[in-house]
Amino acid sequence: MSESFEFKIMRPFGPSIAKTKIPKNLLDKMNNYIDETIKVKKKINKFDHGPYLAGDVTQEFTLEKNFVEEIGWIKFLSNAVYEWIKKDTAKEISEFRLISTWIVRQFKNEYNPIHTHSGHVSGVGYLKVPNHLGTTVQKNKKNNFGGHLNFIYGSQMFVNSSSIVIKPEVGDFYLFPNYLMHQVYPFKDTNEERRSVSFNAKIDQSIYDVY
């Protein structure tokens, strides 16, 4: 039986994207853990995940298995995925197998190029976001996508969008299928950290494999 989640299902193109919230108690425990972990170089080196990820950012490291179990992070992820799949497909998953969950610490001028994930389902949530994500070179520019998340699917056509740009907000969590392309734009004019948590997991093969 899952927890109650408030979900927003977005379908800007083919696959859906679900939006929910990371509970504040989880948010605080995660940030406290990270603040302490980054002080221990030996520990950071042990869990360094950077070589296996696409981003050109300051630091990426996996979360310890016992930690994510103790604070209820795996339970949150499995329940969120359960609700998303049920609301979107009317099917109930019976399997949730976490492959990995990791932290991304991004600072000014750093970025994450277009990429996809492994597994069946993925997600990203925001633990810290700079108060100001910088300015644009052109002063009268209408949009500033610095530090924003960009999902991409298919190609731009008549009455069909191929991308959606999302401004990161602390506590927001997005779920999406592993194959959905996405990227994170660089930001500037600040020394503050943009901190996020991501995951990859597998669910019932019979539900994932629609064919």
pLDDT in tens, 51-94: 989 999 999 999 999 999 999 999 999 999 999 999 999 999 99
pLDDT in tens, 124-171: 999 999 999 988 888 888 889 999 999 999 988 898 889 999 999 999
The domain total for the chain is 1
List the CATH number of the domain containing 110.
2.60.120.620
What is the structure's pLDDT at 143?
86
What is the structure's pLDDT at 160?
85
Q: Which token pair is 44?
A: 């950071």
Q: State which residues form the domain around 186.
A: 8-204
156 lies in some domain: yes
Gap between the Cα atoms of 151 and 165, Å rounded: 6
1 lies in some domain: no
8 Å CB contact between 134 and 146 = yes
What is the structure's pLDDT at 5?
67
Q: Which token pair is 97?
A: 């197998």
What is the structure's pLDDT at 24?
95
Total Cβ atoms within 10 A of residue 41? 8
What is the structure's pLDDT at 119?
97
Pairwise pLDDT comparison (3 vs 153), residue with the higher score:
153
211 lies in some domain: no
DSSP lists the bridge partners of residue 196 as 104, 126
Q: Measuring CA to CA, which residue among 105, 131, 113 is closest to residue 190? A: 131
Q: Which token pair is 112?
A: 């994450």
209 lies in some domain: no
Question: To the nearest whole number, what is the mean pLDDT of the chain?
Answer: 94
What is the structure's pLDDT at 31?
98
8 Å CB contact between 206 and 111 = no
Is pTM beyond 0.85? Reply is: yes
135 lies in some domain: yes
Total Cβ atoms within 10 A of residue 95? 14
Q: DSSP assignment of 137-206, as one string?
A: SSTT-S---TT-EEEE-S--BTTB--EEEE---TTEEEEEETT-EEEE----S----EEEEEEEEEE-HH
